[in-house]
Amino acid sequence: MTIPMWMLLGFATWTLLLLMATVGVYRWVRILFSNVPIASFRSDQPDGEDWYRRGTRAHANCVENLPVFGAIVFVISALGINTPAVDYLSMLVLIARVCQSLVHVSHVQTNRFVAVRFTFFCVQLVCFLALIVIAASYGV
């Protein structure tokens, strides 16, 4: 398995771990120990503590970006591109994603923390675009 494939698997794993550690813990603790009905968690209404809402949004951010990274890794793999630049950019995507999520869930979102989180998101976008350029220029 290539480094980009490992990073994609890591991204998917992080998405699941984030879900379990934030949304899952919050909901199951309430269901099992506070007699909250399982159907009381509505997706169309913000509820719960601030860290829970941040965890929900951080997980949604991962879900939104996972298919983008998956498509890029698929194309890179299908084309057989295996370069240090692709490996480095793929690793940077996962590192920036984990950092973005951790900043999102672990701190109240002041302007400073939002700026840090947005910086990690921008790192991912730059890596995505660079990987797309590498794939598009391969064999041209």
- Domains contained in the chain, CATH given: 3-137 (1.20.120.550)
Is the distance from CB of 103 to CB of 113 less than 8 angstroms? yes
Enter the DSSP assignment of 82: -
pLDDT band at 82 (very low <50, low <70, confident <90, very high): very high
Place of tokens 């913000």: 46
138/126 Cα distance (integer angstroms): 18
3/1 Cα distance (integer angstroms): 7
55/100 Cα distance (integer angstroms): 11
- pLDDT by residue (tens digit) across 43-73? 766 777 888 889 989 999 999 999 999 999 9
